[in-house]
Structure 1
Amino acid sequence: MKRKLPKIITAAFVLSFSVSAFAQVTDKQVKQKSVSENGQPSLITFNELSSYKGSDYQRVFKEQLGLKDTQSFQKVRTESDKQGYTHEKFQLYEQGIKVEFANYTLHSKDGKVVSMNGEYYNIENVKLSPSLSADQAFNKALQYTHASEYLWEKPLDAAELGYAKPKGELVLLPNMEQQGEKRAGDNIRLAYKFDIYATKPLSRGDLYIDAETGKALFYNATIKHLHDNVHAKKASAGSAVKNETALAKKAIVAANAETRYSGTQTIQTSLSGSSYILLDGTRGNGIQTYNSARTATYPTTNFTDADNNWTAAEYNNTNKDNGALDAHWGAEMTYDYWSAVHGRNSYDDAGAKIKSYVHYNLIAAGYSSNNNAFWNGSVMTYGDGSGTGGFDILTSLDVAGHEIGHAVCTYTANLAYQKESGAMNEAFSDIWAACIEYRAAPTKSTWLVGEDIERRSGHIALRSMSNPKAEGQPDTYGGTNWISVSCTPTSSNDYCGVHTNSGVFNHWFYILSVGKTGTNDIGSSYSVTGIGIDKAAKIAFRLEDVYLTSNSTFANARTSGIQSAIDLYGAGSAEVIATTNAFYAIGVGAAYSGSTDTTPPSAPTGLAASGTTGTTTNLSWTASTDNAAVTGYDIYQGTAFKGSSTTTTYTVTGLTPSTAYTFSVKAKDAAGNVSASSSSVNVTTTATSVTYCTSQGSSAADERIGKVVFGTINNTSTATTGYENFTSISTNAARGTAYTITITPTWTSTIYNEGYAVFIDYNQDGDFSDSGETVWTKTASKTTPVTGTITIPSTATLGTTRIRVSMKYNSVPTACEGFSYGQVEDYTINITASGTLDQEVVAGLIETTGTEKFALYPNPAETELNVSIEEADGYSYKIINTLGQQLGSGKIAGNAVDVSKLSTGIYLIELTSGDKKIVKKFAKK
């Protein structure tokens, strides 16, 4: 976040590509290639002819990037998502030395690389032997920083933040002075990288010192502030009570808290001695809120309450102590948003503890006022504000969501904090603040940032995402209020306007969510149909998590944002159109243009079914051809649409035992042309389904399974019961293929030894007792996470079956036992012959005794299910699950049916009016 500090360095530069050009494609495997200003590819997508597999990454890099013999890419992260993609991120090294910012990611589906993106640099004649020692370079760094005090000189604070005096990392750094210029090569410099944390005046960032000349080459700020500082009077110091933070076993309890900004909310606290403290041990590795007590330090000093009823009478005082309740609840709601909506376990996706420090004295740290809050790279820090003319204590829900959003960015795109990448870094934090507020407190003003704390005359908030100009920001790239990025980024110029120019990207997200019609500052008229904040958030997070890199620009964001929408919703979808046109509305790129292609693909051939069970069957067919490219296939059950696949296989689920079905397939292309139907295949499901033995822990309060990753299963759970049925979550697994399983344990406080076992019912006979069905075990240990390899045998029965994951205190569990401490989770695995990753069912079969016109949409549904039928007011409805249990009922009266509280899965909606009845299946996302 922005701050007003003495200038740290006199020259700092950042990569800031202003265009994303498209290269001429000569490789027959390549569908599209986008290049950056240095001529290197930033995004490559591959077509159906591509032969690249995920295991071919060295070949991919050599052929597509021209990787030299002196260079290598080392894998740093692998992730899978619900869309069936695997994302493998690599770091570039030149002769064993890391090249800063040079990351590339391969995106694979069904084992094939479908796209790749990142930053790559042309390294020539680079000097790899430093003239300066690390100590000499460190002294140069201190000379440029000009601070009077550093964190390593405060060992207690340094230990609390997990910080140590930097030793210097030798890296290769692209020459930032060339940024923005067309060039044939990249001037790379050998540099020492230091994480410099100064405490007076306060600053933290990565400072790069030339290893030959000692010049400061680049400064990347780590501390992210909420806004520009406002001058204010110094507040009086408050009192603090010191308490032990050790959490007794089973001492976590719920409490009512009368917050300053969000009314009475339920928070999680812990009993410490005879008092309760703001420590939540139920989320990740904990959420704790401390009291800095008007000092510029990070003590382990707690807010305390004797009866665990945190009332306004006690905390709405002149010291603004009730602001700590907002900070604590805001951190909890932020954790819940990332967990529930994006399947992320804290900001680092590894359960990192979220620490917040309230009543931090920014004036004592060298600032002009206490009107700010920031993420310092380790913890949340909140100033008290100055009240009238400035801000109230800066602990509101959207501020908490914003600041923790910076931590999320660090562990995803890691956008460099200057110029366009820095503006997007700020904008993503505002976007997540809006999403968190929308989910946790929908009555608040979603599209205003900081409205709760605003106390300045003539302002309604810090920023407005719906109308950025109202608070002095631009809403158009290069338009009114835009700050030129042709500058040297320093703290005094807000690193070339990161807090100002963020308004443009904020407005993109607003337009994508709710829609807008108008003319922007560069004269482009636009009309965008919004897709809703939930879908917009999925596109935005995929953009940040999967595609953006440290020095991405708005142009890069447009290219990758459109690709994110394609990944999630398909080429030519309403979501892709809206994403494209929302970028056009903010002055980035052209409006969406449909294709004039009218030639449909050929009809699929060779449709066959295999591995049929009582509820599922596997369909496969021969690929269609097209004059451009086939983008996918639609599957039909009889004449009803059943689902879509981007491959030549599809697993049909939700079928009824002992029932005959007919299936067919049609191909489609990017222009929306649809082929003739394939020939039909007839399937009769088997008679019965199997029943599995029970296994569970008696208590999962102190230790449980926090996350399971296997194939495309990537499930984070916060439940504390001894058994969890996650069979609605599934993955494909191919015979003869090895898969990695990762299990992350969660402990409430004390870390215990845990044993693990995984079982798969390979022959689908309803037990795990056959030879080879105990597929992996690990003896008891405190390791986290634990990983293993499971190879699917060639004799495994094709089709869906059960996989059981078990964690037991101090010993290895068996398949069907009950035990005292730990947890068991069941999932579904679909055994395939080819290893393809199939799509889930998205629609169902309609059965009706009436003749009325009828429609049910969207299907699958996320929050609302619309029913269109003649004489709708005469119908009542019931929602029924696959066990025949009624989960809801009501009248159809022109309003959508609320399905937001249903779990992911298949359901029936039964409509009745007199002797008329309509029954239809639908899917809940």
Structure 2
Amino acid sequence: MKRKLPKIMAAAIVLTFSFSAAAQTTDKRVSQKNVSENGQPSLITFSDVSTYKGTDSQKVFKEQLGLKDNQTFRKVKTETDKQGYTHEKFQLYEQGIKVEFANYTLHSENGKLVSMNGEYYNIENVKLTPALSAQEAFSRALNHTHASEYLWEKPQDAKEIGYEKPVGELVLLPDMEEQGEKRTADKVRLAYKFDIYATKPLSRGDLYIDAQTGKALFYNAAIKHLNDNVHARKFSSSENTSKAIASSKKTIVEANAATRYSGTQTIQTTLSGSSYILLDGTRGTGIQTYNSARTASYPTTNFTDTDNNWTAAEYNNTNKDNGALDAHWGAEMTYDYWSAVHGRNSYDNAGAKIKSYVHYNLIAAGYSSNNNAFWNGSVMTYGDGSGTGGFDILTSLDVAGHEIGHAVCTYTANLAYQKESGAMNEAFSDIWAACIEYRAAPTKSTWLVGEDIERRTGHVALRSMSNPKAEGQPDTYGGINWINVSCTPTSSNDYCGVHTNSGVFNHWFYVLSVGKSGTNDIGSVYNVAGIGIDKAAKIAFRLEDVYLTSNSTFANARTSGIQSAIDLYGAGSAEVIATTNAFYAIGVGAAYSGTTDTTPPSAPAGLAASGTTGTTTNLTWTASTDNVAVTGYDIYQGTTLKGSSTTTSYNVTGLTALTTYSFTVKAKDAAGNVSAASNAVSVTTTAATVSYCASQGNSTADERISKVVFGTINNTSTGTTGYENYTAVSTNAARGSAYAITITPTWASTTYNEGYAVFIDYNQDGDFSDSGETVWTKAASKTTPVTGTITIPATASLGATRLRVSMKYNAIPTACEGFSYGQVEDYTVNITASGTVEAEQIVLGLDTIETASFALYPNPVESELNVLFSEDNGYSYKIINTLGQQLGSGQVAGSIDVSKLSTGIYLIELTNGEKKIVKKFAKK
């Protein structure tokens, strides 16, 4: 369905930062035009009367941007998204020279151009002939870097990662120091761009040298650290594959890994020779984890394991080797998040291999400590931390998600690493870290960054997205803790506070996801209805992937963030309202200015229940409608709020068996309006059931169980399958009493050694794994029959429960096992108290069982079970299944409705405070 675009989305932001103003336009084809600091359009959306097609790129550039004859836009990529939009990205050239960061993207739907956005420069009076040669500029670059060693001085190392000594690219560079002020049209400089890779001290980045004066104009630091204690540069993105591994026979195997921070997790490894290594060949072109062995290098040394069971006993050592398991699993979970949620194949969307290096020595690389991790442009790099007073080894899940998130940014918005764009670069990495943690490890603290590795006194994490001020960050643009971006970015000032100011954008994502109300640091009172982390993530990624450009500001993010929400959910939707108001909450732009909504949604219709069990039922209904948008539904059990849903279904849990409930549903919208209740639906839960684990012998051809005697159970077994269900055969067993067990084996011909085990689910929780529930075992022998004694503990639950008898060739069986030869049989034991109980065995098949004073009929029963006494002595009843679970209760008053019971055997317990009667009956 075609989405309608808004006519105007003007925002007056009365603050000291650059703003995207809504420009006046008389072009009826344009519904909205926002301009950036230099007065050029940053976002244009087109109205329904526009006839622009997606193929009209050069025409639209000339008519809407005023593209000059000596300028050209060259297409660099085309992508189509899940919403059906086609995005064509173009790079600006001035007389054949690339204008750095000047990209523009055209967005089309069904072949029609719907919007365009990017950075454009109306270049005037720029000198296009360099005064310096490339070699002279390179010498200036080296003087500026002041390193004692460079990678090109180590030809073998440089070749290993695909790096070459830079020769310099001539580009036109916009003035990068005037972010937040009006850029004038002629502030563009001809510059040489050098990719400088220093090894002592370690750094890498793109350094721009003025081609006229030799001045260093801008340094784009591309190593993005977890925090701002240390800074470094960007490494080559070339592959560094181990030749030894590549030439060996490899088999990909699933393994269990006892990680340092996330418990035992399933990972993928590869059998290489006689050992397993941390190489996953199932995702993209691979995920591999190496050991830097506390050097400042990137070797191809693998972590290995001989049996592929990566246990804590082996890896939770003083060297912190279990951190490598976190790094490997974290990279896998990061890949899976981008693939499953955003349809992206690795960070570059082309399946790039994700390599992680653990135990990297930052001190040897020239830094003050090992308390950091970073993405170096091609690989993940993890320091070991310093422990107390710093961090533990920095391989936690959110750190992996954060650092690989920087790689995603490089291949999408490519946000310049300084000032506001750099702060958003850092924030997006925190956002993706939170999303990955939320998906892969939901029990962790989603809104804290680095909580697993934190070891500093007075800190719970490195950053808090829910409360940035708790860790010294701002939560409001220009508010408390905000670092003024009117500075010259250097490593010593964290490139004008990128790690600090990121807290504002982090908080925007938190508010959008969860919702929040309050007053921010500039006095704005806000009330935001959260839309959930999944929807917020879709909006955030569309913002980063489709709309933001290298020098985007917070104001640009607001404009494009709202547009992203419109693309995904429609103009005026609850998601658009929340996105707008979340920006207002952090001090960027105005609150949503739509008309106050007082109209409630329509009542949900067609409420129905299905799949009802003893403890659950599934409710579904027809969606409500609203003048803006329905944001969710509240589910009521009677008058009690049971839960909420953003879809038209809800699974109710925690119900009691054989009980009747009434449910209704109400819809709600972003303004807090609530609909009338839906129709009521009545649900009666079924009898509770417990599922036991499977256990069986795979063959009874040579041996099986021929007889079991326990209490009144005296069962000659005729079944020949590996598992026999004799739960209809039962015996009473009193707490504190001892009972003999006899098991007789039978062999077809040859006599074999057989092992035995008997299990009773004393607490009736559906398994035999609790203490004391393996009640008797006997080592393998040819003895026949075998006998033992079982004493029922005083703590055993009363009522019917499962008794399992297992016989296994040549070994003692376990409770939940499939084995080659032997047999498993299940029976029922009814555990009773040690006091007096009048219990009568009922012969099934009779219509009436009657004594002089009591009658229970019909038996078997189909719907109504009659209970009659000669005198009314105030009896109450309980109905209990063969597992001892109570399914119903009440006062005896002639007949009891048992129509909801499943077919099977049940007990009815009758008591009047003086006497208790237990009877068995069958339900047809």
TM-score tier after normalising by the smaller chain length: 0.5 to 0.7
The AA in structure 1 aligned to 2:219 is Y
What is the match of residue 408 of structure 2? 408
What is the match of residue 837 of structure 1? none
What is the match of residue 7 of structure 2? none
Structure 1 CA distance for aligned equivalents of residues 663 and 129 of structure 2: 77
What is the match of residue 444 of structure 1? 444
The AA in structure 2 aligned to 1:197 is Y
Matches within 5 A, 1:73-472: 73-229=73-229, 244-246=244-246, 248=248, 251-472=251-472
The AA in structure 2 aligned to 1:351 is G
What is the match of residue 67 of structure 1? 67
What is the match of residue 691 of structure 2? none
One of 832, 850, 873 as aligned partner of 2:683: 873
Contact 2:18 2:181 (C-alpha < 8 Å) held by counterparts: no
Shift in Å, 1:138? 1.1
Quick one: structure 1 residues 416 and 511, their matched pair in 2 at CA, closer, same or farther if it must change by over 3 Å? same
Contact 1:130 1:212 (C-alpha < 8 Å) held by counterparts: yes
Shift in Å, 1:873? 3.5
Contact 2:250 2:271 (C-alpha < 8 Å) held by counterparts: no
Post-superposition, which runs of at least 4 consecutive aligned residues in structure 1 deviate over 6 A?
Answer: 667-672, 852-859
Contact 1:454 1:460 (C-alpha < 8 Å) held by counterparts: yes
SS of residue in 2 equivalent to 1:73: strand
Cα deviations across residues 551-592 of structure 1 (Å, max 9, x unaligned)?
Answer: 000000000000000000001111001000000000000001
Quick one: structure 1 residues 177 and 391, their matched pair in 2 at CA, closer, same or farther if it must change by over 3 Å? closer
Structure 2 CA distance for aligned equivalents of residues 554 and 453 of structure 1: 30
Structure 2 CA distance for aligned equivalents of residues 534 and 247 of structure 1: 42
Quick one: structure 1 residues 278 and 874, their matched pair in 2 at CA, closer, same or farther if it must change by over 3 Å? same
Deviates more, 1:281-290 or 1:154-163: 154-163
Shift in Å, 1:437? 0.3
Quick one: structure 1 residues 230 and 133, their matched pair in 2 at CA, closer, same or farther if it must change by over 3 Å? closer
What is the match of residue 544 of structure 1? 544
Quick one: structure 1 residues 110 and 292, their matched pair in 2 at CA, closer, same or farther if it must change by over 3 Å? same
Larger C-alpha radius of gyration, 1 or 2?
2
What is the match of residue 647 of structure 1? none
SS of residue in 2 equivalent to 1:460: coil
Shift in Å, 1:597? 12
SS of residue in 2 equivalent to 1:301: coil
What is the match of residue 36 of structure 1? 36
Structure 2 CA distance for aligned equivalents of residues 261 and 580 of structure 1: 37
The AA in structure 2 aligned to 1:380 is M
Shift in Å, 1:671? 11
Deviates more, 1:588-597 or 1:421-430: 588-597
Structure 1 CA distance for aligned equivalents of residues 116 and 17 of structure 2: 18
User: Over aligned residue pairs, what C-alpha RMSD do you find?
Assistant: 3.0
Shift in Å, 1:470? 0.4
SS of residue in 2 equivalent to 1:345: coil
Quick one: structure 1 residues 60 and 875, their matched pair in 2 at CA, closer, same or farther if it must change by over 3 Å? farther
Quick one: structure 1 residues 122 and 597, their matched pair in 2 at CA, closer, same or farther if it must change by over 3 Å? farther
Cα deviations across residues 142-186 of structure 1 (Å, max 9, x unaligned)?
Answer: 110000111222334433433222121111111234443335523
Shift in Å, 1:229? 2.3
Contact 1:175 1:186 (C-alpha < 8 Å) held by counterparts: no
Contact 2:574 2:628 (C-alpha < 8 Å) held by counterparts: no
Contact 1:245 1:300 (C-alpha < 8 Å) held by counterparts: no
Shift in Å, 1:65? 0.2
Shift in Å, 1:108? 0.4
Contact 2:320 2:393 (C-alpha < 8 Å) held by counterparts: yes
Structure 1 CA distance for aligned equivalents of residues 576 and 442 of structure 2: 27
Structure 1 CA distance for aligned equivalents of residues 667 and 273 of structure 2: 55
Structure 1 CA distance for aligned equivalents of residues 227 and 205 of structure 2: 17
What is the match of residue 578 of structure 1? 578
Quick one: structure 1 residues 376 and 124, their matched pair in 2 at CA, closer, same or farther if it must change by over 3 Å? same
Matched, 1:592 2:617: no
Contact 1:206 1:219 (C-alpha < 8 Å) held by counterparts: yes
Shift in Å, 1:243? 9.1
Structure 1 CA distance for aligned equivalents of residues 668 and 199 of structure 2: 54
Structure 2 CA distance for aligned equivalents of residues 668 and 123 of structure 1: 49
Contact 1:377 1:407 (C-alpha < 8 Å) held by counterparts: yes
Quick one: structure 1 residues 150 and 230, their matched pair in 2 at CA, closer, same or farther if it must change by over 3 Å? closer
Give the TM-score taking structure 2 as reference length: 0.63
Quick one: structure 1 residues 169 and 336, their matched pair in 2 at CA, closer, same or farther if it must change by over 3 Å? same
What is the match of residue 904 of structure 2? none
Shift in Å, 1:272? 1.3
SS of residue in 2 equivalent to 1:575: helix
Contact 1:157 1:299 (C-alpha < 8 Å) held by counterparts: no
Structure 1 CA distance for aligned equivalents of residues 243 and 33 of structure 2: 58
Contact 1:196 1:207 (C-alpha < 8 Å) held by counterparts: yes
Matched, 1:483 2:506: no
Structure 2 CA distance for aligned equivalents of residues 244 and 856 of structure 1: 63
SS of residue in 2 equivalent to 1:562: helix
Shift in Å, 1:670? 8.8
Structure 1 CA distance for aligned equivalents of residues 243 and 69 of structure 2: 58
Quick one: structure 1 residues 244 and 454, their matched pair in 2 at CA, closer, same or farther if it must change by over 3 Å? same
The AA in structure 2 aligned to 1:336 is D
Structure 2 CA distance for aligned equivalents of residues 341 and 856 of structure 1: 29
What is the match of residue 699 of structure 1? none
Quick one: structure 1 residues 129 and 311, their matched pair in 2 at CA, closer, same or farther if it must change by over 3 Å? same
The AA in structure 1 aligned to 2:186 is D
What is the match of residue 679 of structure 1? none
Q: Percent identity?
A: 84
Structure 1 CA distance for aligned equivalents of residues 418 and 131 of structure 2: 29
SS of residue in 2 equivalent to 1:218: strand
Structure 2 CA distance for aligned equivalents of residues 257 and 306 of structure 1: 13
Structure 2 CA distance for aligned equivalents of residues 309 and 155 of structure 1: 39
The runs of 5 or more residues in structure 1 that have no matched partner are 1-15, 232-241, 599-638, 641-666, 673-841, 845-851, 860-866, 877-913, 916-925
Structure 1 CA distance for aligned equivalents of residues 596 and 301 of structure 2: 66
Deviates more, 1:151-160 or 1:390-399: 151-160
Shift in Å, 1:187? 1.7
Cα deviations across residues 822-871 of structure 1 (Å, max 9, x unaligned)?
Answer: xxxxxxxxxxxxxxxxxxxx999xxxxxxx99879899xxxxxxx96513
Contact 1:17 1:37 (C-alpha < 8 Å) held by counterparts: no
What is the match of residue 499 of structure 1? 499
1 or 2 for the larger relative contact order (CA 8 Å, sep ≥6)? 1
Give the TM-score taking structure 1 as reference length: 0.63
The AA in structure 2 aligned to 1:870 is A
Shift in Å, 1:125? 2.1
Shift in Å, 1:212? 1.5
What is the match of residue 11 of structure 2? none
Matched, 1:530 2:530: yes
Matches within 5 A, 1:566-715: 566-595=566-595
Matches within 5 A, 1:737-886: 869-874=679-684
Contact 1:174 1:189 (C-alpha < 8 Å) held by counterparts: yes
